[in-house]
Amino acid sequence: PRITRREDYREPDWRVPEIELDFQLDPAATRVVARLWVQRSSEHDRPLVLDGDGLTASRVRVDGVEVPVEMDGPNLVVRLSGSAHLVETEVEIAPERNTQLQGLYASNGMLCTQCEAEGFRRITFFPDRPDVLSRYKVRMTADKARFPVLLSNGDPVGSGALDDGRHWAEWHDPFPKPSYLFALVAGDLVANRSTFTTMNGREVQLGIWVRAGDLERTHHALNALETSMRWDEQVYGREYDLDVFNIVAVDDFNFGAMENKGLNVFNSRYILADPDIATDYDYDAIAAVVAHEYFHNWSGNRITCRDWFQLSLKEGFTVFRDQGFSADQGSAAVKRIEDVRGLRASQFPEDAGPLAHPVRPDSYIEISNFYTATIYNKGAEVIRMMATILGPEKFRAATDLYFERFDGTAATCEDFVRCMEDAGGTDLTQFRRWYSQAGTPRVTASLKQEGGRARLTLSQTVPPTPGQPDKQPMVLPLKLRLFGSVTGRPLCDEQLIQLRDPTAEIVFESIPEPPVLSINRGFSAPVVVDTNRSARDLAFLSAHDDDPFARYEAMQQLMLDTLVASVTSGRPDHDAVIDAVRNTLTDPALDPAFVAEAVLLPSDSFIGDQMALVDPDAIFAAREALRRDLGREHEALWRSAHEAVRNNRFEYSPAGKGARRIKNVSLGYIAASGARDAADLALAQFEASDNMTDRQGALGVLVSSTATEQRATAIDAFYRRYADNALVLDKWFQTQALSSRDDTAQAVEALAAHPAFTLANPNRARSLIGAFGVNQRAFHDVSGRGYRFLADQLLALDKLNPQTAAKLLPPLGRWKRFDAGRAAKMRAELERIVATPGLSKDMFEQASKSLD
């Protein structure tokens, strides 16, 4: 397959300032007529090449005159003599046969589109690249009974009935946009509507479109939309620019949602919520994704990307924006903890494995494979570091400058950094390495007291990654502070230092008592920090640090040190963790939501990430042993924490969420203690709960338990209760795939044969296969059956939906970290995948790179 390289970027040969699209919609056969007003962009004699993917032109006209159809592979070649022409093409496509869910496809009786990154070329011939911006006029005709609602980008300009039972609607989008932001939806939908008055007094009609039965589940999303529109005005000065803003929920969707101009299309799991079907986690994710897609209207749509190597320009920045939004809606500390946990669960492993790539990649085979945690979440951390370096006022000035300077254009990461420099009055030359170098930097920090001084020695390294054996030092903004280990008092103010050299030394004067180092506070840099802090120091910080993130971090480090020592020595010493957890649990000043995060042990896989060779069974055993001891030692505390909120009625508020969080964490520890009544307690919670958070929390505990009867009762009851709700059934599959029982690999194989399982729906596929892939112990079952199962499922899914299949492959690529027996089995599955005839380029890229 062909490799696309960033250094090969060339301006487009032809611009398309205007386009008119005419759709005769029909699930089996949709006719698409496209009229492109094209302009030669410079003096050259190259033909107009229009991207196509699986299209056949039934007719091509230039300035009204039919010309012969000339193809170059999948693309259409049109030879033009002048500098401006009208090119008209006609194709026929079959949405109901589109299982890739890219382009125009059918989902649950409706028709919808997904174009990013290169799906528009599956709808019509077009220069399908983000730096070709066009004004769109779209006309849709469809059967009125089946598709009463016809939506597209921009504003509606007309509609009417035809005498054959069909009707039409026309939409115009006044803002030039790249083809990846095109969207249309046709279906039998109803809307939850509202109006929003912008900061300059313009009225915007808002609509969240769903099937009739789901209307009552859209209030949270609508509320989140209004809140995020206001937030973007207040925090970034960004006002919405069209008269309508519509969101449509779709059941079959390859990822979370899509920011199409004025017509966001969402995976229904990020829209639909009520207490009976959605967890607190779902509620938060809905608000975050609604905000994210809305924020793209400026960071993505008004300013888009010049080419797909610049993807993090819109995604990293927009994730940073949605993180700020969420932080402002509840506990900023808990939000930061969740984001860092997510980064460590997905981005750090990516950066340490065969698929590591820079935030601005240099090449790709299939761009869909680059919608990664690195582009999104590390990209957001890179923006966050610039915001930290500039400070809030200059950062706001810099984003204002960016929005002003590049409005209406297709920009680059470099353009963004230049705005940070210009408005921030700072030189980010060395900082730019964050865009070009892959790999997670490692910092070593050691603090020594000498007389009345403290000397902090810092050093940094960046590990080699594929194609980048040697690395240059990075700019690492590190927030730090020293505390006195005797008095507990801070010994200095918080400082922001920028580590730029391989090593550095900082001396703190007048240090009267042995100091304890609090470093990378707030996770100011996305790095791994190794320190020489003792268990005592960490326990001290976990109780006294004034930065809540650092407090959480100290506890995590203490737990990690304890678990790693226990795995390697086989002689666990749990005392320090037990004491630290008691202190946290009994500190009345702490927010329960924070407490619940702080007392959770690091995941199996994060423990594995600390070790050169991962022994999944030993890690599991060590973690379970610590869980059991924590459960037993603090049984009374867990029970009273659980009991105190047991009968709370559901309320969606930070306090309500915090109570449910601590309740479920406590239930987990009660079960871990081995208490005889734990399964009954869990089943009682399962049966009595008035909300999904508590119900799924209890189900999760039971699914991992050996209490056969209660376990089966809950699994069965959950299934029957939600048999006709696909989003909740996904949770049923997912919870079982995450089970810590010994028989999970077999159980997952059986679930794949369950009548309700299907690979055709991405949510369902991810709920079982994706969850299984991150269940470290079950997936790495020493028999190798987990590897075989994953490979079999991926090969089957690749035939339907390569994009979703390829996203689920990375767990197989971690073979270097496992013992020779497991590694050989993992490699064998990767080799089997690569050797499969007819493999998609999505899978080929992921699997072949994972073998290196």
**Contact of residue 682 among Zn ion, ligand B3K, none (CB under 5-8 Å per partner type):** none
Which candidate, 437, 418, 415, 435, places its Cα nearest to that of 427? Answer: 418
CB-CB neighbours of 170 under 10 Å: 18
Q: Tell whether residue 672 is a contact of ligand B3K (CB under 6 A).
A: no
Q: Tell whether residue 292 is a contact of ligand B3K (CB under 6 A).
A: yes
- Smaller CB separation from ligand B3K, 117 or 247: 117
SS3 580: helix
Cβ at position 315, least distance to ligand B3K in Å: 5
**Contact of residue 280 among Zn ion, ligand B3K, none (CB under 5-8 Å per partner type):** none
**Contact of residue 406 among ligand B3K, Zn ion, none (CB under 5-8 Å per partner type):** none
- Smaller CB separation from Zn ion, 321 or 521: 321
Q: Tell whether residue 842 is a contact of ligand B3K (CB under 6 A).
A: no
Write the DSSP symbol of residue 649.
P
Q: Which residues sit at the interface with Zn ion, rule CB under 5 A?
A: 315, 318
Write the DSSP symbol of residue 115.
-
**Binder to ligand B3K among 50, 110, 258, 478 (CB under 6 A)?**
258
**Contact of residue 350 among ligand B3K, Zn ion, none (CB under 5-8 Å per partner type):** none
d(CA 566, CA 574): 9
Catalytic one among 88, 170, 259, 293? 293
Q: Tell whether residue 293 is a contact of ligand B3K (CB under 6 A).
A: yes
**Contact of residue 258 among ligand B3K, Zn ion, none (CB under 5-8 Å per partner type):** ligand B3K
- Selected range binding ligand B3K among 59-67, 289-297, 708-716, 751-759, rule: CB under 6 A: 289-297
Number of residue whose CB is nearest ligand B3K? 116
**Contact of residue 117 among ligand B3K, Zn ion, none (CB under 5-8 Å per partner type):** ligand B3K
- Binding string to ligand B3K for residues 749 to 778, with x set by CB under 6 A, is what? ------------------------------
Cβ at position 333, least distance to ligand B3K in Å: 26
Note whether 411 and 303 are within 8 A (CB): yes
**Contact of residue 255 among ligand B3K, Zn ion, none (CB under 5-8 Å per partner type):** ligand B3K
- Smaller CB separation from ligand B3K, 107 or 388: 107
d(CA 24, CA 34): 12
SS3 690: coil
Angstrom distances, CA of residue 253 to CA of 91, 102, 258, 605: 24, 9, 10, 28
Note whether 348 and 609 are within 8 A (CB): yes
**Amino acid (1-letter code) at residue 844:** F
Tell me whether the omega of the peptide bond preceding residue 117 falls within 30 degrees of 0, making it cis. Answer: yes
Cβ at position 787, least distance to ligand B3K in Å: 26
- Binding string to ligand B3K for residues 367 to 396, with x set by CB under 6 A, is what? -x--x-------------------------
Task: Dihedral sign for Cα 94, 96, 99, 105, please.
Answer: positive
Two tokens, residue 39: 């302009």
CB within 8 Å of 1: residues ≥ 6 apart: 365, 366, 841, 844, 845
- Smaller CB separation from ligand B3K, 293 or 545: 293
Q: Tell whether residue 255 is a contact of ligand B3K (CB under 6 A).
A: yes
d(CA 556, CA 567): 16
- Selected range binding ligand B3K among 290-298, 400-408, 464-472, 510-518, rule: CB under 6 A: 290-298
Cα-to-chain-centroid distance, residue 148: 33
Q: Tell whether residue 315 is a contact of ligand B3K (CB under 6 A).
A: yes
**Subset of 113-132 contacting ligand B3K (CB under 6 A):** 116-117
216 in catalytic set:
no
- Smaller CB separation from ligand B3K, 315 or 381: 315
- Give the ranges where 738-840 is alpha helix by DSSP (H): 744-752, 762-765, 771-774, 776-779, 785-800, 802-807, 820-834
Q: Tell whether residue 252 is a contact of ligand B3K (CB under 6 A).
A: no
Which candidate, 166, 29, 188, places its Cα nearest to that of 110? Answer: 188
Which candidate, 499, 508, 235, places its Cα nearest to that of 385? Answer: 499
- Smaller CB separation from ligand B3K, 184 or 558: 184
**φ and ψ of 478, to 5 deg:** -120, 120
- Smaller CB separation from Zn ion, 320 or 789: 320
- Smaller CB separation from ligand B3K, 347 or 388: 347
Cα-to-chain-centroid distance, residue 149: 30
Number of helical (H) and strand (E) elements in the chain, helices listed first: 30, 31
Which candidate, 105, 461, 445, places its Cα nearest to that of 254? Answer: 105
**Contact of residue 116 among ligand B3K, Zn ion, none (CB under 5-8 Å per partner type):** ligand B3K
Q: Which residues are catalytic?
A: 293
Which stretches of the chain bind ligand B3K, using CB under 6 A? 116-117, 255, 257-259, 292-293, 296, 315, 368, 371
